[in-house]
Structure 1
Amino acid sequence: MIVNAQEISEPRTYVDRILEHWNKDEDAEALVQGAQRLTRGEARRQLFRLGHALRGQGLAPGDGVGLFLANRVDSVLVQLAVHLIGCRVVFLPPEPGPGELAALVEQSRARAVVTDPLFAERAADAAGRSVHAPALLSLGPCEQRCADLLALAAECPDARPDGVPAPGADEVVTVLYTGGTLGRPKLAAHTHRLYDMLVDLMTDAAEDSGPAFFPTMDPSTDRVLAATLLTHGSGHLTSIQALVTGSALVVLPEFEAGAALTVLREERITATMFVPPMMYAVLDHPECKPGVLPALRRIAVGGAATSPSRLQQAVEVFGPVLGQGYGQSEALAIAAFGAEELASECALRPELWRSCGRAISDTEIEIRAEDSTAALPVRQVGEVCVRGNAVMLGYYEDPERTAAALQDGWLRTGDLGYLDAEGYLYLVDRAKDIIVTGSTSDNVYSRVLEDFLLTLPGVRNAAALGVPDEEYGEAVQIFLATAEGVEIDPEAVGAAVTAELGELYTPRKTVLLDQLPTTKVGKVDKKALRAAWTSGALTTP
């Protein structure tokens, strides 16, 4: 094999770190999705071909490239190729409606949009509304008028594209969608400091000096499953963590508990990440029993609040392999609780099951009151504020909302929580999810209520919402996804809540459902739940 000097030079970016591995042991497996299996050599050559193909569309360093992609091996390589040629990745997740998707493409100033053929019609509509008229490329043939990027790549050289400048210190390299309103999306913009931080964390883990949440990875044996969407922060972090350590990355096209268990077992997966509803679904599957996944040594859980009782159940089933993480699109890695630490510390202090860990390396966490820059005392609830290299540069093309979220380098996360004396962080709610009710207008923290509900027999998932109430402004209403064949008495549920949490938390109404609506990334979709209930579209078992 002939390797040019640029490929073996001192790594400058996380892509260089990946290529360090892909330049060695060429026949080792690198990327897997079902029957598609790429060796390191094949992955490297396809990455270079995709880089040339993107350049052939007139893309230059600094240009934005929208990625509207499903979970597949080609999606991983395209994302790497965009960064390889110095362009800006703009993740376009599938949940926004047509208007907001079009606004996202427009606001992100994407010069090209790469779409999965499954999404081609929606991508064409969004690109067609943009005044920037981005080029439309497809990962394979499709019915829309767009170039087939894979066909273009097949005609390109498999040597690394040259002449790519190193990214600037404050140059935006990745943009993540984090919600918004029609015509004005919120786009969290990150610099290469995010990836430098991730590489440092993995290096610290290899030297046994980092947080246990990032364990030592062995490229010869570790196999990582990307089960969440690659265009979301959780899937992106999972794939990057695998690739920069030289581990094989297995991509799950679409999550379903039975399919996930099959892939975990047959591919001998050693590490994966689930959002809580995914983990609950796996635990509830009839084939999920102790010892079913002997190769698995780490499950990271994050992306949403996790029930302590479900965490304990997962440890009972899978063993002491469970770690928790806390982050958001604006700061992808904030706090972590490693598997060994979680298993040992929670045995001594059961209250730690409710914690999401301590600040990761080079990250600071403070709890502040609204409109205050002063840190609150330990165990006092306030807004979680964060400072460190994982924090975004700002909201892309949105100085007003950037100024509201970032103050003197500190990110106001919108999450409410508290710190204990040892620095463990406990989340109690999203600020917008607090239910203000009762004769004294007190706060009901939905997570506290949901955690308790998940301890009740027969309850698989739970959501608490505030509904309009003439007397108190808001009343507590709960929605329970129940196990098949289990009868639950709503009045008994209400009585149990009152006995455990007090009258303020007593639900006005309990609604039983087969399942709760979830977002594309697997979180409970409270917005959809509220809309469905208001419209009368929900059906009960």
Structure 2
Amino acid sequence: MDRILEHWYKDDDAEALVQGTQRLTRGEARQRLFQLGHALRGQGLEPGDGVGLFLANRVESVLVQLAVHLIGCRVVFLPPEPGPGELAALVEQSRARAVVTDPLFAERAADAAGRSVHAPVLLSLGPGAPQCPDLLALADQCPAERPANVPAPGPDEAVTVLYTGGTLGRPKLAAHSHLLYAALVDLADETTMAGSAPGEEAERVLAATLLTHGSGHLMAVQALVTGSVLVVLPDFEAGAALTVLREERITTTMFVPPMLYALLDHPECEPGLLPALKRVFVGGAATSPSRLQQAVDVLGPVLGQGYGQSEALGIAVFGADDLASEGARRPELWRSCGRPIPDVEVEIRGDDGAEALPCGEVGEVYVRGGTVMLGYYEDPQRTAAALHEGWLRTGDVGYLDAEGYLYLVDRAKDIIVTGSTSDNVYSRVLEDFLLTLPGVRNAAALGVPDEEYGEAVQIFLATAEGADVDPAAVGAAVTAELGELYTPRKTVLLDRLPTTKVGKVDKKALRATWVDGTQKVS
């Protein structure tokens, strides 16, 4: 927080936060932050209390996140994808004393808060939520000085809690201490997001993914601690995103792969369209090397990759400059997600998790360092399963090369075990190849039940408009390149693949809707 305020106390009239026509200067953002802090305190919140944030992408959402930390409370991110039962369980398990909701989500927030035995206070981030106090209106009546007497959090105290899936009634909540933010500040200083030099125009960073998810939160924090202007994109649509990138002279942003693919497929996305753009980080899911190379052809040498998860927001990174130079030297590096970030260790371990495997051998990715969570909040059993002597089992499968570059081949749960010898089919390897085929815009591979082999490979392809994609030819190409084990039993052609609220391909939705290549009848 102090690092952000160092910038916001300088040059009061410089831009700090932007969303469409809403433009806050550093002075205005600072004063608004302090007012929100006082308004939250006025609801009886004390240091250490949890505050659930059920928010859309808005400038005010950034400020209220900061305000919760400013008064020593714990941020609990409530993303929009869980159903009513799991959302209520998330509020309950996180012990949220208050829930701040966007007016658009007020009905769902009220239902979740109403089911909690802790009876959290419900606040609306703006007007339009009946019988729910408007936090912004309350803030208007509060002083614009920094709230005093806020104790510093301890090293083992959870200050931020991120939802990372789970089951009805028992969500998984990754809890992080303030050490996470120290690590993210160091990462921003080590990378090309270190901010602008004195006398230069400030960097302009676009938050395009959800602010209540790890990727959006990471991008926002790194922008603010470097004194960059943070531009918030309310909803992602390729044409609108291109307009914002161009008109706001965005220098840095981050996309999940389907977002990047949608931009590249937009008819207005042509070389030279975005001259201010310096860095586009891609992460959140596996990215096709062929699509990365296409992005470089269109956007220039601005592509970098990052790898992290809710349990460890930063693990490895490949900066744009490094990827451009090293990728030319070693083309296979386009499949890598880079080297571990400073002060983070990565090992590849076998099934028993006891020892690190040699370079080049595939196993589960283990991580240790400042970005790793304290554990799953209020869930010692699953914490014990995920953490051992400081090492996090990521659930991702990959390998390290001799130079320390990390390559991911799959999520452990997405590996398809098939064939007469029950061998592994790595869905990412298959999806990367499918995206090199003409007419294929996006691809997903799943294992479906098979009486003979346990699982069979089934693929889903989003095809370009007017493209004539022959499933038989696709299958033959897969067999020729990857072998018979990877040959799909079924191929489903779609106009587009379903995505989650974060923009990732929604394999759960594909699995729930399709069986053996045939859409279920609801």
The TM-score, its normalising length taken from structure 2, stands at 0.98
Which residue is 1:141 aligned to?
A: 127
Contact 2:448 2:515 in 1 (8 A): no
Which residue is 2:201 aligned to?
A: 220
Q: Distance in 2 between matches of 1:20 and 1:442?
A: 55
Q: Distance in 2 between matches of 1:538 and 1:260?
A: 34
State the Cα deviation string for residues 321-358 of structure 1 (Å, max 9, x = none): 11100000000000000111101111111111100000
Contact 1:211 1:336 in 2 (8 A): no
Contact 1:322 1:338 in 2 (8 A): yes
Which residue is 1:131 aligned to?
A: 117
1:383 to 352, 358, 364: 364
Cα 1:217–1:301 shift into 2, 3 Å: farther
After the TM superposition, which of the residue ranges 339-348 and 140-149 deviates more from structure 2? Answer: 140-149
1:118 to 98, 101, 104: 104
Which secondary structure state, in structure 1, belongs to the residue aligned with residue 514 of structure 2?
helix
Which residue is 1:488 aligned to?
A: 469
State the Cα deviation string for residues 33-92 of structure 1 (Å, max 9, x = none): 011110000000000000000000000000000000000000000000000000000000
Which residue is 1:109 aligned to?
A: 95
2:250 to 245, 251, 269: 269
Q: Distance in 2 between matches of 1:520 and 1:382?
A: 30
Which residue is 1:288 aligned to?
A: 269
Structure 1 stretches of at least 4 aligned residues deviating more than 6 Å after TM superposition: none
Which secondary structure state, in structure 1, belongs to the residue aligned with residue 393 of structure 2?
strand
2:280 to 273, 283, 299: 299
Q: Distance in 1 between matches of 2:185 and 2:399?
A: 29
2:19 to 9, 33, 39: 33
Shift of 1:215: 4.9
Q: Distance in 2 between matches of 1:221 and 1:211?
A: 16
Which secondary structure state, in structure 1, belongs to the residue aligned with residue 515 of structure 2?
helix
Contact 2:202 2:227 in 1 (8 A): no
State the Cα deviation string for residues 462-515 of structure 1 (Å, max 9, x = none): 000001111101100000000001110000000000000000000001100000
2:214 counterpart of 1:233: yes
Which residue is 1:434 aligned to?
A: 415
Q: Distance in 2 between matches of 1:200 and 1:429?
A: 29
1:453 to 430, 434, 437: 434
Which residue is 1:56 aligned to?
A: 42
Contact 1:114 1:139 in 2 (8 A): yes
1:365 to 323, 331, 346: 346
Q: Distance in 2 between matches of 1:200 and 1:520?
A: 29
The equivalences for 1:315-330 within 5 A come to 315-330=296-311
Q: Distance in 2 between matches of 1:538 and 1:484?
A: 25
1:309 to 275, 286, 290: 290
2:259 counterpart of 1:278: yes
Give the RMSD, CA atoms, in angstroms: 1.2
Which residue is 1:177 aligned to?
A: 163
1:522 to 483, 486, 503: 503
Q: Distance in 2 between matches of 1:168 and 1:467?
A: 47
After the TM superposition, which of the residue ranges 238-247 and 137-146 deviates more from structure 2? Answer: 137-146
2:30 to 22, 44, 60: 44
2:181 to 195, 203, 222: 195
- Provide the aligned length of Structure 1 versus Structure 2: 518
Shift of 1:200: 1.9
Which residue is 1:168 aligned to?
A: 154
Amino acid aligned to 1:162? A
Q: Distance in 2 between matches of 1:78 and 1:31?
A: 13
Contact 1:124 1:144 in 2 (8 A): no
2:381 counterpart of 1:400: yes
Unmatched runs of 5 consecutive residues or more in structure 2? none
Contact 2:51 2:74 in 1 (8 A): yes
Q: Distance in 1 between matches of 2:165 and 2:115?
A: 19
The equivalences for 1:61-100 within 5 A come to 61-100=47-86
Unmatched runs of 5 consecutive residues or more in structure 1? 1-14, 204-209
